[in-house]
Amino acid sequence: MQRRNWIAAAAALLAITPLMATTALAQAWPTRPIKLVVPFPPGGLIDNMARLVAPKLALELGQPIVIDNKPGAGGNLGAAEAARAAADGYTLLMASPPLTISPALYSKLPYKPEQIAPVALLGRVPNVLMVHPSSGINSVAELTALAKSKPGQLNYASNGQGTSLHLSAELYKSQSGAFVTHIPYRGAAAAQTGLMATEVNMMFDNLPSALGLIKGGKLKALAVTTPMRSSALPDVPTMEEAGMKGFQVFSWFGVAAPAGLPAPILQKLEQALERVAKMPEVKAAMLKSGAEPAWANSQGLASFMQADTAKWKNVAAFANIKLD
C-alpha cells in the first residue's frame, strides 16, 4: 500500500512539474530585452504606432523593447522571422493587415499563418477614398456614375499589388459594379503624387498619411471606410452613409507572437498591453495621427483576423488576384 501511495505521489509530482515550471517562467518573465519585429520600414504607419507603444510597454514590463524593422514582401518577411522565433515572449511582431491579406493572395508564404498567435489589437485606421479637387466629383455616388459611364477609362492608384489600399478599391468595384483600372505605384507617397498630378482619377489611402493633403486642399476626401465617421474628418461621410452598404475596411495594428506562447506569459503581456492602450496620452496620440484606439484581447483579435481573411479571400476571388 505504501509503495502504491509513493508511486501515485510521484506521478502527481511529475504531472504538475511542467505547470510549476511554466508558472515560474511567467512570473520571472521578462528578464531581458524584448524584440518587437516591425515588418515595414521606419517612418510608416505601423512603425510609428510601434514607436508610440514600445516605450510605454517597456515601462510596464520593466525591460527595454527593441524595435527591429524587417521590411520586404509586403510584410511577409517580418512575419516569417517572428514565426521562426522561440515562443518565449522575447520576440513579438507588430501585427497589421498583411497577416489577413497575404493568406488570401498567396498559395505559398514564407511562414504558415498558424505559426503566428494574436496577442492584442491596439487600434485601427480608416482608409479614405480621395479624388483630385479639380475633378468636379463631390460624392461616391457621382464617382460611381462617372466610372459606369466610362467603363475602363477611369483608373485608381494604390501603393502596390496586394495591399489594403489595392483591395479596398477592388472591394469598391465589386460592390459598385464600376470597372476602374488599377495603377500600382511604389508606395503611398508616389500614389498620392500621381493623384495630385491627375495621372489617376481616384485612390484609397490610409487616413494618417493623407490627412495633411486633404486638410491642405490638395486632395478631396469623398468617404472613410470605417463604420463611424473619423473624428479627424467629421464632415466626411462613411462609405455606408455614401450608399455602399456593408463597406467596412480599415488598416489595423496590434501585437502578435510566435505560436505556442505559454498562457501565463500571454496573459501577462495582454494585461500590460491593455494598460498601455488605455493610457490617455497613447489614445490622444493615436487620434491626433488619424488612428482610432480599438482594444481587443488575443481572442478578440483572433476572431477579427479570421473574419478579415475570409473577406479578403472573397475580394481576391472577385478580382482574380494571385501574387504567387
Query: What is the tens place of the pLDDT at every residue in 126-135?
Result: 899 999 999 9
pLDDT score of 43: 82
Q: Please provide the CATH number assigned to the domain covering 32-124+252-319.
A: 3.40.190.150
Mean pLDDT of 22-50: 85
| Class for the domain spanning 126-224 | alpha beta
79 falls in which pLDDT band (50, 70, 90)?
very high
Q: Mean pLDDT for the chain?
A: 91
Instruction: Give per-residue pLDDT as tens, 225-240.
Output: 998 899 889 999 999 9
pLDDT score of 73: 82
Whether the model clears a pTM of 0.95, i.e. scores above it, the answer is: no
pLDDT score of 23: 56
Lowest mean pLDDT among 8-12, 120-124, 155-159, 197-201: 8-12
Q: Shortest CA distance to 287 belongs to which of 123, 95, 127, 164? A: 123
Residue 220 gets the label, from left (phi > 0), alpha (psi -120 to 50) or beta, of beta
pLDDT score of 14: 64
pLDDT at 66 over 60: yes
Q: What are the structural domain ranges in the chain?
A: 32-124+252-319, 126-224
Cβ(227)–Cβ(238) under 8 Å? Answer: yes
Residue 117 gets the label, from left (phi > 0), alpha (psi -120 to 50) or beta, of beta
pLDDT score of 306: 95
Q: Shortest CA distance to 81 belongs to which of 34, 38, 117, 30? A: 38
